[in-house]
Amino acid sequence: MIELKNVHKHFGQLHVLKGITSTVDQGEVVVIIGPSGSGKSTLLRCINYLEEPTKGEIIIDGIKLNHSATNINRVRQEVGMVFQSFNLFPHMTVMDNITLAPKKVRGLAPSKAEDIAQELLAKVGLSDKAEAYPRQLSGGQQQRVAIARALAVQPKVMLFDEPTSALDPEMIGEVLDVMKNLAEDGMTMVVVSHEMGFAREVGTRVLFMDEGKIVEEGKPEEVFFNPKNERTQAFLGKIL
Amino acid sequence: MELSDWLVIPEILPLMLSGLKVTVVITFFSVLTGLVIGTIVGLARLSDNRFLCGLTTAYVEIIRGTPLMVQLFLIYYALPEIGIHLPPMIAGWVAYSINSGAYVSEVVRGGIQSIDSGQMEAARSLGMSWWQGMRYVVLPQAFRNIMPPLGNEFIMLLKDSSLMAVIAVPEVMRYANLMVGRKGGYALPIYVTAGLLYLALTLPLSLVVRRAERGLAKGD
Ligand SMILES: Nc1ncnc2c1ncn2[C@@H]1O[C@H](COP(=O)(O)OP(=O)(O)OP(=O)(O)O)[C@@H](O)[C@H]1O
Ligand SMILES: [Mg+2]
């Protein structure tokens, strides 16, 4: 579903991704962990081309990413993204947040888009919030709306960049539950998160990144409880 | 100067009011065109295209670095020398639109930059094009922020439109000058009247702007 071949990313002199090669199969839930600044966000952003890799190849669902706009907009419809800071559109209701892209990008009729939105809102447990504005919602609710919004374009892959790290502790569970359901429905997911419980329950694989490289990867149990690499050990020692 | 001099006011008021109408109309249309130019230029200055960015930056710097009077004279008195003749009202409108476009573009640019970059990223990640993201997500939010500075621009332009008197646009100052000439005096009551007429427009406007600013600060 996602194929990364020797992906490099530079910001000026800064070499952030140093040759990432990996494959994510359909239905996999890959959890990426690693210290701050190791390039986790940059990798996700490269996967849906919010950043352009300086070298290497990314293939999504058989489509090779390149610079042409049609290609990028098309691929982005297949790859949903959920951000740490939600990034809901504050001037629109929850309903409009969710239906905007289906209407403008997929060309759906408003009534059809609204039906889909209602279904998704039910799925994330917010059926009664369709007419609310983002600022009227708690952080956890906003993030669930953001997930519904990303799903509304019917992507084949969902990327999550620390989806719960801006949330109060009591709201983390509700967002993780939505993500678990999504995983159980068979969605292919790449999740940057240090939520071990989530990784162990639904993660098929954990990648440990450090200084722009994948240093270790394996089943969640192996990486968390029996890490081979000493940098992984040191990092886990700090967060556990 | 006698107290009875002030009795000239009722006499001149009808003409002055018709001048005020011209002032308002020409200012309104100048700000409107200025807003269109300013939005396009503001967006161009934020684009990655070096040429567009350079061209529009030059435009803004040139306009902001030269007196409005010079711009007005260039369009009204100099253009005819290359065969372009514009009537006073149109010349005024063109000059003020070009002038206001430069100032408004700075306002628009600031408004867009004040919107968190995560908004555009979210739009792009949903498959929207850059322009769709601008149009549906960034600009609507930016325009809320730029309403107050835009109101200030309108007030500035309203006052500056008095310059058009020198190219014979029949606005407030033009009539005030005419009256003073025709009556051979009465400068005090006539120019005070002109000033009060401007004030009658700018004062309520700045109140509205102030209130809008306070509303934005409260974040609702
Ligand atoms: N747009 C950018 N311009 C310049 N440098 C950047 C940019 N984006 C990221 N970086 C740098 O790239 C490096 C990796 O950043 P990235 O956000 O990918 O790390 P991360 O692993 O997600 O860290 P965190 O856990 O703090 O989110 C950092 O040193 C960061 O400063
Ligand atoms: Mg990050």
| Model pLDDT for residues A119-156, shown as the tens digit of each residue | 999 999 999 999 999 999 999 999 999 999 999 999 99
Separation between Cα atoms, residue A27 and residue A158, nearest integer Å? 11
Residue ranges of A 176-235 with Cβ closer than 8 A to chain B: none
Please, which residues have CB less than 5 A from ligand 2, an ion?
Answer: A 41
Q: Which amino acid belongs to residue A23? A: T
B137 in contact with A, Cβ within 8 Å: yes
Q: Which residue of chain A comes nearest to B144, CA vs CA?
A: A91
Name the residue among A85, A105, A146 with its Cβ closest to that of B128: A105
Determine whether the shortest distance from the Cβ of A165 to ligand 1 is under 6 A. Answer: no
Separation between Cα atoms, residue A130 and residue B139, nearest integer Å? 23
Q: Which residues of A136-154 are buried (b: 16+ CB within 10 A; e: fewer)?
A: ebebbbbbbbbbbbbbbbe
Residues of chain B in contact with residue A79, where contact means CB-CB under 8 angstroms, are 125
Q: Which residues of B18-44 are buried (b: 16+ CB within 10 A; e: fewer)?
A: ebbebbeebbeebbebbbebbbebbbb
Q: Atom 25 in ligand 1: which residue has the minimum CA distance? A: A36
A32, pLDDT greater than 90: yes
Q: Atom 24 in ligand 1: which residue has the minimum CA distance? A: A36
Both structure tokens of A215:
């240093």
Q: Atom 16 in ligand 1: which residue has the minimum CA distance? A: A39
Name the residue among A73, A74, A89 with its Cβ closest to that of B119: A89
A66 in contact with B, Cβ within 8 Å: no
Give residue A129 CA to ligand 1 midpoint distance, Å: 34
**Structure confidence at residue A24 (pLDDT):** 95
Residues of chain A in contact with residue B138, where contact means CB-CB under 8 angstroms, are none
Name the residue among B129, B140, B144 with its Cβ closest to that of A73: B129
Residues of chain A in contact with residue B126, where contact means CB-CB under 8 angstroms, are 76-77, 80, 100-101, 105, 149-150, 153
What's the whole-number mean pLDDT along residues A2-23?
93
Name the E strands within chain A.
2-11, 14-24, 29-33, 55-60, 63-64, 79-82, 157-161, 188-192, 205-210, 213-218
| Contact check, Cβ <8 Å, A50/B124 | yes
A163 in contact with B, Cβ within 8 Å: no
**Structure confidence at residue B219 (pLDDT):** 57
With a cut of 70, list the residues of chain B below it in pLDDT. Answer: 1, 218-220
Q: What pTM was estimated for this model as a whole?
A: 0.84
Q: Atom 6 in ligand 1: which residue has the minimum CA distance? A: A11
What's the whole-number mean pLDDT along residues A33-61?
91
Which one of A87, A108, A154 would you mutate to disrupt binding with B, by most B Cβ within 10 Å of its Cβ? A87
Separation between Cα atoms, residue B104 and residue A23, nearest integer Å? 49
A158 in contact with B, Cβ within 8 Å: no
**Structure confidence at residue B4 (pLDDT):** 80
Q: Which residue of chain A comes nearest to B125, CA vs CA?
A: A76
Percent of chain A with pLDDT over 90: 78
Model confidence pLDDT, tens digit, residues B168-194:
899 999 999 998 888 888 899 999 999
Give residue A151 CA to ligand 1 midpoint distance, Å: 26
A94, pLDDT greater than 70: yes
Domains of chain B: 3-219 (1.10.3720.10)
A38 in contact with B, Cβ within 8 Å: no
Q: Helix A110-123 and helix A94-104: axis angle, to 10°?
A: 130
Which residue out of A41, A194, A209 has the highest number of ligand 1 atoms within 8 Å of its CB and is therefore the one to mutate?
A41
Determine whether the shortest distance from the Cβ of A164 to ligand 1 is under 6 A. Answer: no
Which residue out of A8, A9, A10, A11 has the highest number of ligand 1 atoms within 8 Å of its CB and is therefore the one to mutate?
A11
CB A161, CB A82: distance < 8 Å: yes
Q: Which amino acid belongs to residue A211? A: E
Nearest-5° angle of CA A51, CA A56, CA A62?
85
**Structure confidence at residue A214 (pLDDT):** 94
Determine whether the shortest distance from the Cβ of A36 to ligand 1 is under 6 A. Answer: yes
Model confidence pLDDT, tens digit, residues A183-221:
999 999 999 998 888 999 999 999 999 999 999 999 999
Name the residue among A48, A87, A101 with its Cβ closest to that of B118: A87
